[in-house]
Amino acid sequence: MLKVSFAQMEIFPGEYETNFNNMEEMIIRSSKLYGSALIVFPELAIQGAQKDIIVLDNKYLLKFQELAKEYAIWIIPGSFYVKDEKNKIYNRLFVINRNGEIVGKYDKIFPWEPFEPVEKGEDILVFNIENKMNVGVGICYDLFFPEISRAMLSKGAELMIYPHYTTTSDRDMELIIARAYSVINSSYVVTFNGVGKYLTGKSAIYGPEGEELQKAESGETILTEVFSRERVLNIRENGVKGVTRNYNHFIKYKDKLKGLIDNHY
């Protein structure tokens, strides 16, 4: 079993210290009060979306590493705009374990064009958390591309997490997509958002048969859920509702599906 907290937090664009202090409080609460193994924050939680793409320095990432170690909790502190050694800018998410070590990173594969003029990521991230569950991550607009969820599934994901910074009226469509993914991938799927100026909230957690486990509205809150790998594995072995073994068939025929994609895309 894996207990995870998802922070539907109020984000103040450009107010780094305000956002950080709020995130620190949520980390402490999730660790000490809820006993969560992992806490995840929305896309761009520390900086918010601003008029220009602003690259964040490492000081906040280092602070989150210190908090992870101090409170013995895994942290995904949302995403940051970062610049690589070639001066290319990415929307990047980091995974920090309870020892304060960075154990994974993911660059958003589908930036929201034309409003997000950054480089596209190329790699899928699925990581294991303490032998309890395989976790895959995408960022916001990545949700609209089912190929990413299938790639996560191919790499063993049992829980798929999509942190968002959604300010638009299609938030309800994102919920529909996430719920569908939970069924077709026989996985837990979490789509969660920030709140505040223009941000629409409406975070949700879906079980591996498409059931809505939790849903928030437009206020600041923390959704905490206990995920069961055993349930995922049972559904994948015996089928959705004990009938449809779509996971087994996907694994069996994924090379054929890949061929279809290569030939027709």
Asked whether residue 265 carries a pLDDT value surpassing 90, the answer given is no
Task: Indicate yes or no: pTM above 0.85.
Answer: yes
What gap in Å lies between CA 32 and CA 217, rounded to an integer? 25
pLDDT tens digit sequence for 41-80: 999 999 998 877 778 778 999 999 999 999 999 999 999 9
Per the structure, the count of domains in the chain is 1
Find the domain containing 252 and state its range: 2-264
What gap in Å lies between CA 229 and CA 79, rounded to an integer? 26
Asked whether residue 34 carries a pLDDT value surpassing 90, the answer given is yes
CA atoms within 13 A on the CB side of 131: 0
What gap in Å lies between CA 151 and CA 185, rounded to an integer? 10
What does the pLDDT read at residue 57? Answer: 77
pLDDT tens digit sequence for 76-100: 999 999 998 888 999 999 999 999 9
In what helix (H) or strand (E) does residue 241 lie, and over which residues does it extend? none
Side chain identity at 261, as an amino acid letter? I
Q: Which one is predicted more confidently, 102 or 50? A: 102
What's the pLDDT band for 253 if we cut at 50, 70, 90?
A: confident
Q: Are 220 and 202 in contact (CB under 8 A)?
A: no
Mean pLDDT, all residues of the chain:
94
CATH of residue 145: 3.60.110.10
What does the pLDDT read at residue 130? Answer: 95
pLDDT tens digit sequence for 128-184: 999 999 999 999 999 999 999 999 999 999 999 999 999 999 999 999 999 999 999
Across the range 191-203, mean pLDDT stands at 94
Asked whether residue 257 carries a pLDDT value surpassing 80, the answer given is no
Q: Which residues of 112-126 are buried (b: 16+ CB within 10 A; e: fewer)?
A: beeebebbebeebbb
pLDDT tens digit sequence for 106-125: 999 999 988 888 999 999 99
